[in-house]
Structure 1
């Protein structure tokens, strides 16, 4: 059998690669798999046929070469053993992307097998593991933190993210490339030299500094490369390979010719293994980018540790502390000055996308901005504790504030020039900076759970991106707009916790505590529900729709004094626990890991937070995405496993109707929504009453049954039956009825889906009776239609009918006269051709008259679809969904009925100016929309149905500048929508109305 398996042929290769149609052994097929980055499981790749997808795998011939190429120089976990290049290639040191790249380079002949091996060995050497013991021995972490790490009280990720640790593991930015001021181009150092922008000497010392501080950098593609890789990828030329390999030894270590040991850059310098000036230059670059590198342990070390290990001494410190022109080893090509590496780094600009430091190159006659050494010294020595924001409570220099993200490049230049010209004093300089920071924070402050949250907090938590942060800082979007984005609101406000109880027999809403007082809930059930409220933000008074702190809830008798201490303890899941060792504020999970709270109790509160929007960061007072929670030590994989696969021990909540233990999410999903407040209420049924809920088995079936045929807002998307069942198309009564029919076996799951799809379809259909009742067709035409004398298609095509069913053209997009381009409204805004305000009102008008329009592809889309297809950005989704209600209808908060735009306006459910603008757009594009019947109606019918009145008719018939809600960007005039439509041009192919934009 061993012989059979050792020498397989096609008869014994029992597995099959569906991509290449080959018979393979199981091992061969496993070796073609990719690893799931989260679970580590092996997954078989399937590539699409005829879609131009590339299928990467290592063929048998290449694999044989890689397996037969061995080395004893790998180090790390392979120290002292013979290991194959194949095993190294598939080790955790090499990323999937790097693996593909190297195999392709080898197969194409770009690199030899020896070069392949050298590249791999360099990568492994540069990414050596650093143990907690290494960090402790290097005084990078202290004994307490080491013990906490060993005990699992803090994670490796948390420690790695600490500034004090990251500096030594990753370093700070070296000079990555060149920024050409005249063309705004980013170039690699070598490319700048090739174009004659840098001399060979300047280029070489900059590249040597890169190699000696970690990696050669490709700033165009944002890649960090070993010297071997950089040469292979032509980021540097072959002629400098040996010099750069020599500089790279400042990272990987030099070999002591007497002992064979690995020694550091400084030690090599002392042994005259490298030229003094060259060594000093590399050493200074290391210090300027985070610290001297210990090549044995593969990380940087604090100065005192460098002294102790012989990597530095007082004489060298003196040389570097007081540099003269002989030891200033770097050169500013713009000013012809010799500088230290740190001075040159400080003259660089940051690439706004990659964050890399780029050396500015200016042409003749161009202005070169930099801060001279004398000014820099003053700025660095001027400090304050009044900066606030991320600097709250710390002393920070004016230099650091000037180069913070609060200050734009333009403002920075302006202030430095004013100071140098004597227009402002250093004190005035500081006050101006502090005012900018204060104004930025006040302009961009959000209401968190318990305290204000800055835009910077949201950026650092990956809740908003850099672009949105900059738009917010520049006033291009408002705090209100950002607040309304689903992706932001979830983390600032969370989703509904269980707010109270709904007593089915009396239709009463009660607080949790009142339900307990009446004996409807046990004390235990009541307490865990109230603790979940406190731990997810606030104790809730569902009767008066109030959110209260525990202190307020006790004072207002929403809960009793007896539970105050327990609820104050639960509330710390929001406000933070105090670490008894450090005095720092720590999160719920961290308190759990430090045994400051009982495990079951902590898990219950953590699960409630996750079920209501995300884990709460008590320091910043908002919820955070899961990955950020991992990074900050607020969650870990072990806890994720516990909560992902709950059993009765971890199901910490209780359904009093069924006596089941449930997760918080399961219990929330059994709640009903209060029609007025929108709060989630736990239903309590009396004896003999029917308790409606969807059991877990049924829920699983409903969630796993999907369709792409739902239409409406779900057009073109995969949606689950569960989501359709709980959509606005299905009433509470119909929902109950269908679930009961399915559970009783009266209908199958396929029939269930078809019924739901039919309801959704019928909700949108317009009947002939509707048209007759709306005076769109007369009795004669109705009878002819009923008798089959005319068809639905014929009637639909009549101008008098089509106007009310389809409307006339809204402004679909923009026509750029200079280039003859058609653009969507959002694309025009993105290119700066329309202001955000003008763009938004035009998109709202689209949504309020039927659909958001993609004029390039001639598509009409719901808001949901438009966002999904990137026709509009996520940041405007909520505003456009609100405008779309002018078509689908608003909900009357008093009756629950669907009402029209005008009725919502009369009930003050929408802002007057906004409502008038949308109403005017509807009238201009065919008539007022009846959201109940889903079509437009003649004016007299609108009057009769309460969708319009004489007062509004007067306002719209005689508009002034206050009611002209639209704007012509070409003439800067305020116009009505009809006036603006009449200035549009028609697309000759699609017939869509496009707003022409002149240069």
Structure 2
């Protein structure tokens, strides 16, 4: 068989050149192919006189010339050998850019073969001289040539290193070079209010950070270089971090996956090492997860080249296919979808860069630490007030924001304000609402207070306490009392709605309607101990039983909001009725209870709204107003167990007695009403 293949007659020339119509051996056909510079693959050219193929690829004729020129090499891996000019050009001593330049200059006849040979030998000699000049990369040594190819150092720097005019130390004193080699600090751990420092994993174990928050912070560490122990100021690979017990074995798999953003992913088709961005393109990593890791890399010094173990400038990342314009646009215009990190202090979703800007630097280690503010009596702010702070820009003259315009929100949450001062500012702006804090701006926007009152609070002329005690404001903040329970006539015994049902004074249907009205107007009420509870709290405190839980949880959404199945946004009770997320008759009953106890509830702010404001917001309309105004039996959704009448909630409230001890409204029930409830 060897003799047959060596004597390649027409019988063994089993391949055909479509350009020359020759029968060839495979080796001969390979020889006539061109090399694709971007992939290194061998392609068979189909000649077309109008094609620019020969200007893009290394053609057969040039390849044949370069293969025919033999060169004796005196240094490097080819030392003492005579090899073809083609083999030298295709070796690791030359970048694709250099290769293309030589081919183009030969094609344009600006360089002769002899001059090319001389230059090729010079480059090999220089490469050998600088091969021993190495820098500390992220995980491996990096040569001066690699840094020059990545535009991290200049050709002049390379020449100075080669000739001994500069040392590695000299070059790495350049801040830009140091950043590309080692990166900038990632978030290494947390600092507690008492200045105690903890690793991210310790904070997770102690419940200071949520599992999800801590995981993304640890993934960011792994994807930017190392897992960090901020106490000992040591850096570990994921494997070593598990061995050193800096992290638990439970996170090993997830963090090893994130670490591939540094060490490289394996292309399942070629087996080659590829970058984080290429892994995203090949669906080896979920896009949202990949964006989070990529953004962390960019925020800490630049995209990591896993092949050469250092970070690279953006234009080099484009060139290598490690980044593109679409991804750049996504990261430049961060929406909530791309804000993959969570601030445990303000409960905001942020980019990694934004979260880094809120960290402090530990003076003894230079590590970046996320400060955890004290939770005792902390004031938070949300809704439209937060939006105002985030869209109000301030020009700053000093500090790290010097000569920049930053948002009021960023300034409030920066290191320049003590926690005490921050809380003081937020307290001046916040009012206690139905289920959380409400800003005075929201009161103004909802026409609950006027402009003059708003300014008086901001200027300190009127305190938040005084404002909240104003009758109209108090009613819109927390509502008026719903039907909190029952009172037995003659004995004056007070009972909760559930207890009255259990004792037989209320039918299950009547009790459920009254409990749903409680849930839909704010809270489940325990009139005996004067407690207001969420549905979940009521179940835990055994004010309710499990069989009522789901129904009352559904009614509670009239306060907390329903989720629009199409947009995912929080919508009001009325909007839920219109979208058929709740049965109309049931929804009208809950809405009527809200109106009777202070106004329609805005689930976004937790405020009871004046009717005209509810109209404007789309939380009410003329048709529904007409239905409620024309109170037929169809809209009388509540039942008086004493008189056996169907009533509106307002009519039921009018029949209640105010408890002098608690101020709660209690429905009077005749002692003999138990018979009606049973029979």
Q: TM-score, normalised by structure 2?
A: 0.46
Which structure ranks higher in relative contact order (CA pairs < 8 Å, sequence separation ≥ 6)? Answer: 2
Greater C-alpha radius of gyration: 2
